[in-house]
């Protein structure tokens, strides 16, 4: 597996982008993931991305995270070739996933998550690019 991105929960994508633009030069990619109720900006750095996540609704997981824990590191995501195959492999090793089936992610990707309580308090995402 390859590290794909690091998710960072933010209240305002534009304000956080302004911070990173003082640190480095980049052209961000933006989208919105309706199923996750979040706006996304991807900052490419060193072959991976920083994924800024701004909730679009109070029932978004990102909204709850910020309300309870404040802005900051939210998850790490590993790229896999086939998310179903990886889910089966890890389930056989005792890991559990949040969703029975992969959910639609950004730009046509398919994703699933392992609960942070079972992974050393870090939310882990598996992502298969579209």
Interface residues toward ligand CMX, by CB under 6 A: 7, 33, 36, 38, 51, 53, 61-62, 64-65, 68-69, 74-75, 98, 105, 113, 115-117, 121-123, 125
Output 33 or 50, the one with its CB closest to ligand CMX. Answer: 33
**Spatial distance between the Cα atoms of 130 and 128, rounded to a whole number of angstroms:** 6
Output 57 or 82, the one with its CB closest to ligand CMX. Answer: 57
User: Least separation, in Å, of the C-beta of 43 and ligand CMX?
Assistant: 14
Output 22 or 59, the one with its CB closest to ligand CMX. Answer: 59
Output 22 or 121, the one with its CB closest to ligand CMX. Answer: 121
Assign 41 to helix, strand or coil. strand
Q: Within a 13 Å sphere around the CA of 120, how many CA atoms are in the beta-carbon half?
A: 3
User: Least separation, in Å, of the C-beta of 24 and ligand CMX?
Assistant: 21
Tokens (6 digits) for 83:
């998310």
**Spatial distance between the Cα atoms of 16 and 31, rounded to a whole number of angstroms:** 16
User: Least separation, in Å, of the C-beta of 81 and ligand CMX?
Assistant: 18
User: Least separation, in Å, of the C-beta of 127 and ligand CMX?
Assistant: 8
Bridge-partner residues for 73, per DSSP? 8
Q: Phi then psi for 117, rounded to 5 degrees?
A: -70, -20
**Spatial distance between the Cα atoms of 3 and 26, rounded to a whole number of angstroms:** 19
């Amino acid at each position: 597996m390859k590290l794909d991105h690091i998710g960072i929960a933010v209240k305002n994508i534009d304000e956080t982008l302004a911070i990173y633009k003082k640190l480095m030069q980049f052209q961000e990619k933006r989208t919105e993931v309706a199923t996750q109720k979040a706006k996304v900006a991807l900052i490419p750095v060193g072959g991976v991305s920083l994924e800024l996540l701004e909730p679009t609704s109070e029932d978004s997981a990102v909204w709850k995270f910020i309300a309870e824990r404040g802005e900051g590191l939210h998850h790490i995501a590993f790229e896999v070739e086939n998310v179903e195959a990886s889910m089966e492999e890890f389930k056989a090793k005792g890991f559990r996933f949040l969703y029975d089936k992969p959910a639609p992610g950004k730009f046509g990707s398919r994703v699933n998550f392992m609960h942070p309580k079972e992974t050393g308090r870090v939310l882990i995402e598996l992502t298969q690019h579209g």
